[in-house]
Amino acid sequence: MTGDQPLIEVTDVHRTYRRPRVSLTRPGRAVAALRGVSFSVTAGQRFGIVGESGSGKSTLIRLLAGLDQPTEGTVRFRGQRVSGRPERQLGFLRRELQVVFQDPMGSLDPRMRVRDIIAEPLVAQGHPDTAGRVAELLEAVGLPQEAAGRFPHQFSGGQRQRVSIARALAPRPSVLVADEPVSALDVSVRAQILNLLADLVERYALTLVFVSHDLSVVRHVCDTVAVLRAGELVELGPVDRVYRAPEHPYTRELLAAVPTLRGALARFTTRTAEEEQP
């Protein structure tokens, strides 16, 4: 493997969902969620994907994470095929690439204590000191040690997202994929979680793939941005260039539709009041 080989390589990926047949005379409608998407992500890149609701962002994330299969095209990680492989052959990917989802309540098992939620991937790996590692991770995401004994519902939304982030970091991944990690949170805690993600990416030298419909957020967190529109990548480039001189009319439209960009950025950079402790 050469040093400049992309970490993630997406080649002409299509994903069509077949809606179930409604009746004998009315066949199900096909939805083309991704229509020929290609791009690559190199190690250390902070790669943002923006697009409106329904543009295919989450579909793309599921394909990158090997949680779903493309209808056509390939996804590779460090040159190895992710697409077309059964789950039992994706161990290499599960160790290296972890996903943080939008809704921390939906992605955390409500019956498990935080220590077991975070330790689960470690136990699976036969980690020698799960308790020590859990303590380290709680510290890294800014949660008090006593959080370990609590259940997800005993936390605020922002704190639950901290738990999801700790769990994602547990196997020491090289890539963190975040699908709208702050959209379900109170506006007042979004900046804290984004700052935390940015700090962790720096601290652990992670490669980041970050999905958002909010351009101001992507601009702040990422160095590269891809614009997805109705299942197609219409623009891809360094964030500074794309925001300063968008090439595609759709990107210009998206940028023009953010009248409060300045305000949003100001909100983002101003650290808001501390979240209440658990």
Ligand X SMILES: Nc1ncnc2c1ncn2[C@@H]1O[C@H](COP(=O)(O)OP(=O)(O)OP(=O)(O)O)[C@@H](O)[C@H]1O
How far apart are alpha carbons 108 and 117 in whole angstroms? 7
Indicate which of Mg ion, ligand X, none lies near residue 53 (CB less than 5 to 8 Å, by partner kind): ligand X
CA 11 to chain centroid:
19
Return the one option of ligand X, Mg ion, none that residue 213 interacts with (CB less than 5 to 8 A, by type).
ligand X
Partner whose binding site includes residue 104, from ligand X, Mg ion, none (CB under 5 to 8 Å by kind): none
Footprint on residues 212-231 left by ligand X (CB under 6 A): 213
Instruction: By CB under 5 A, tell whether 58 contacts Mg ion.
Output: yes
Report residue 46: phi and psi, to 5°. -115, 95
Q: SS3 for 78?
A: coil
Name which position in 58, 159, 164, 207 contacts ligand X (CB under 6 A).
Answer: 58
Among 1, 53, 259, 276, binds ligand X (CB under 6 A): 53
Q: Which amino acid is located at 244 in the chain?
A: R
212 scored as a contact of Mg ion (CB under 5 A): no
Contact pattern for ligand X over residues 171 through 210, marking x by CB under 6 A: ----------------------------------------
Distances (CA, A) of 183 to 5, 34, 179: 33, 22, 9
3-class state of residue 193 by DSSP: helix
d(CA 165, CA 204): 13
Residue 70: closest CA among 18, 14, 31, 32: 14
Residue 40, token pair as written in the block: 């690559």
Q: Which stretch binds ligand X (CB under 6 A): 54-62, 84-92, 145-153, 156-164?
A: 54-62
CB of 184 to Mg ion, least distance (A): 11
* Residue choice 16, 31, 103, 136 for contact with ligand X (CB under 6 A): 31
- Take residue 191 and report the two structure tokens written for it: 């900046």
- 36 or 278: CB nearest ligand X: 36
CA separation for the pair 159, 147 (Å, rounded): 10
Question: For binding to Mg ion (CB under 5 A), which residues are involved?
Answer: 57-58
Question: For binding to ligand X (CB under 6 A), which residues are involved?
Answer: 17, 19, 31, 33, 51, 53-59, 213
